[in-house]
Amino acid sequence: MNFKSTTRMIAALSTAVIFSGCSEDFTLLSPISERNVESFYRTPTDFTVAINGAYSTLAGNGAYNRAYVLLHEMRSDNTMNGGGNTGLAEVYFRLAHFSELATASELSSPWTTAYQGIARANTILDRIDNLEDGSFKERIRGEALFIRSLFYYQLAVLWGNVPLQIEAVRSPNVAVNQVSADVIYQQIAGDLELAQSILPASYDAANLGRATSGAANALLGLVYLTNGQSSDAATALRRVVNSNQYQLVDNYSDLWGVQNENNVESVFELQYRAGGTDTGSQFTDYYTPFGDGGGVGAGNAPQVLSPGVEYLHSVQYGIEENDERGFGGTWGFEVEGNDTTVWVAKWESQPFGPGDADNNFPVFRYADVLLMLAEAVGEGAEGYSLINQVRERAGVTPIDASTPGTWDQKLLFERRLEFVTEGKRWADLLRFGVAPSVMGSFQPLVDAGLTQGDIRLLYPIPQREIDVAPGEMVQNSY
């Protein structure tokens, strides 16, 4: 964005987070004055500041700038822990080996951040009728619903049974309403059906990065797929295709780099800006040798690329050598003597400082819409045509029913090729029902003595959330 049931106080949605009227974090969004939450939400400027604050929560370290990279990529067979298994690196070792502790900060941070973002969205929705401008009011309503839905999607995928809070909180006492993931998905679906109907299809240059009707439908399609509603997913995803707002860029490599941000393939892209203002991104540090971390496996999220993902594009994996998603597209490499260093070229840039790069993050791009639509319609002529649009852009031959592998295997493989390090692999493995089998046979885990039975499908709920609501919150098995 170039804006670039017992009532208890639960720390899970603690007063400083969910009771946004009194939250120091939240009131920092408003001008330095005597204005409180009740007097603030009056003008279009007030609501613009407030919705920008909700977007900033999505882009923060507790969400897409750090936590979701760790919780999705390190959980999958794309990346592994590279920091050892003791000291400060123990938490990463545990994340990658399905042995994380409920007291880990890497779990409490994204949980708290999600409910902070939800609280901000709820407060906006609670006060949106203070606005008189109908079109602007509905746009802000749609953006708030989208942001809240995206946070709830992450909570449901990562933790399953979580508290549902959709009302603005006006008291420090909050009723714990822990519900199952399918209830969360139903709530999200209803919110997004409304959001997609009231959000604009596009914005002017000053508002790039805000949620559009296309973004709402892309998330809606993903939610329906996750909840097993393929027909509904296809309906939502076809709206994106039929909007004619998006297309695949001609060359895969042209998706990446700060010069290519917000391109025609971008459906929803989180905006980052380097420069020492705490609005830069960390992906260059995580996945390349060009950041302060000193290369993949260093820095504050010590990951290494798994052997399988590094060589996805080699002949031994049945992928043509001219696949543009290979070296020069997804992968950069440097040979020095007998050593070859491989990194994720899509995140290359020149950061301003540690964790301070300009690289945006594509939450949804059009290739994802096409592959999700293929998933929704299933194996057949249309499904293969959708996959082959993505393959054609990569410069490789089409596939069909005669191509070795099951439909699910081919689709999952294509998604892994296309989206490595974009935070989709773990959710894909869960959605396709293959997380135990894939991760149970992942060689680094096999070498560590893990079996399919050790693969946890949900993270443990942060222990402090259980402790402050005894008998009201049920912990996930761990």
- Answer whether residue 230 is part of any domain: yes
pLDDT at 15 over 50: no
Over pLDDT 90: what percentage of the chain? 70
* Burial label, 337 (beta-carbon count in 10 A; 0-12, 13-18, 19+): exposed
- Answer whether residue 1 is part of any domain: no
CA-to-CA distance for 30 and 88, rounded, in angstroms?
36
Give 270's DSSP letter: E
Residue 267: how many other CB atoms lie within 10 Å = 24
pLDDT at 310 over 80: no
Which amino acid appears at position 14 of this protein?
Answer: S
Task: Say whether both 411 and 270 belong to one domain.
Answer: yes
pLDDT at 89 over 60: yes
Lowest mean pLDDT, pick from 229-243, 324-338, 385-399, 405-419:
324-338
CA-to-CA distance for 149 and 65, rounded, in angstroms?
18
* Number of domains into which the chain is organized: 2
- Answer whether residue 473 is part of any domain: no
Q: Find the mean pLDDT for residues 314-331.
A: 64
pLDDT band at 295 (very low <50, low <70, confident <90, very high): low
Which of these three, 300, 318, 347, is where a domain ends?
A: 347
Distances (CA, A) of 61 to 57, 127, 146, 413: 8, 28, 19, 29
pLDDT band at 260 (very low <50, low <70, confident <90, very high): very high
Lowest mean pLDDT, pick from 22-26, 306-310, 383-387:
22-26
* Res 82: pLDDT: 83
* Res 312: pLDDT: 57
Tokens of 56: 């900033």
Beta strand extents in 271-351 (DSSP E only): 303-305, 331-336, 339-344
pLDDT at 10 over 60: no
SS3 25: helix
- Answer whether residue 160 is part of any domain: yes
- Answer whether residue 158 is part of any domain: yes
Task: Say whether both 244 and 317 belong to one domain.
Answer: no
- Work out whether strand 162-163 and strand 303-305 pair parallel, antiparallel, or are unpaired: unpaired
* Res 335: pLDDT: 77
Task: Say whether both 332 and 431 belong to one domain.
Answer: no
Beta strand extents in 116-214 (DSSP E only): 162-163, 174-175, 178-179
Task: Say whether both 161 and 295 belong to one domain.
Answer: no
CA-to-CA distance for 101 and 328, rounded, in angstroms?
39
Lowest mean pLDDT, pick from 84-93, 133-142, 315-324, 336-345:
315-324
Q: Find the mean pLDDT for residues 298-319.
A: 63
Which of these three, 316, 347, 378, is where a domain ends?
A: 347
CA-to-CA distance for 316 and 35, rounded, in angstroms?
64
Task: Say whether both 326 and 382 belong to one domain.
Answer: no
Q: Tell me the backbone φ, ψ of residue 447, rounded to 5 degrees.
A: -60, -30
Helical (H) or strand (E) element with 252:
none
Domain at 226, CATH number:
1.25.40.390
CA-to-CA distance for 370 and 421, rounded, in angstroms?
19
Lowest mean pLDDT, pick from 7-21, 29-43, 350-364:
7-21
Q: How far apart are the first and last CA of the chain?
A: 39
Which of these three, 297, 325, 347, is where a domain ends?
A: 347
CA-to-CA distance for 18 and 57, rounded, in angstroms?
13
> Which domain range does residue 462 map to?
7-275+361-467
**pLDDT higher for 291 or 329?**
291
Residue 359: how many other CB atoms lie within 10 Å = 25
Task: Say whether both 461 and 395 belong to one domain.
Answer: yes
Task: Say whether both 270 and 295 belong to one domain.
Answer: no
Give per-residue pLDDT as tens, 174-193: 788 999 999 999 999 999 99
Task: Say whether both 222 and 103 belong to one domain.
Answer: yes
Give 275's DSSP letter: S
* Res 33: pLDDT: 38
Tokens of 118: 């939800």
pTM, to two decimals: 0.91
Give per-residue pLDDT as tens, 110-163: 999 999 999 999 999 999 999 988 999 999 999 999 999 999 999 999 999 999
Residue 467: how many other CB atoms lie within 10 Å = 13
pLDDT band at 300 (very low <50, low <70, confident <90, very high): low
Residue in the structure block whose two tokens are 């840039």: 349
Give per-residue pLDDT as tens, 196-241: 999 999 999 999 999 999 999 999 999 999 999 999 999 999 999 9
Task: Say whether both 384 and 239 belong to one domain.
Answer: yes
- Answer whether residue 251 is part of any domain: yes
Q: Find the mean pLDDT for residues 345-370.
A: 95
CA-to-CA distance for 23 and 7, rounded, in angstroms?
20
- Work out whether strand 178-179 and strand 162-163 pair parallel, antiparallel, or are unpaired: antiparallel
Q: Find the mean pLDDT for residues 80-90.
A: 83
CA-to-CA distance for 371 and 368, rounded, in angstroms?
5
| DSSP per residue, 52-121 | HHHHHHHTSTTTTTTHHIIIIITTTTSEEE-S-SSGGGHHHHHHHTT---TT-HHHHHHHHHHHHHHHHH
CA-to-CA distance for 374 and 434, rounded, in angstroms?
18
Task: Say whether both 311 and 222 belong to one domain.
Answer: no
Task: Say whether both 343 and 393 belong to one domain.
Answer: no
Task: Say whether both 171 and 61 belong to one domain.
Answer: yes
* Res 4: pLDDT: 56
Kindly report the average pLDDT of the chain as a whole number: 87
Bridge partners (DSSP) listed for residue 303: 81
- Answer whether residue 157 is part of any domain: yes
* Res 32: pLDDT: 37
- Answer whether residue 99 is part of any domain: yes
Helical (H) or strand (E) element with 470:
none
Lowest mean pLDDT, pick from 21-25, 48-52, 371-375:
21-25
169, 122 contact by CB (below 8 A): yes
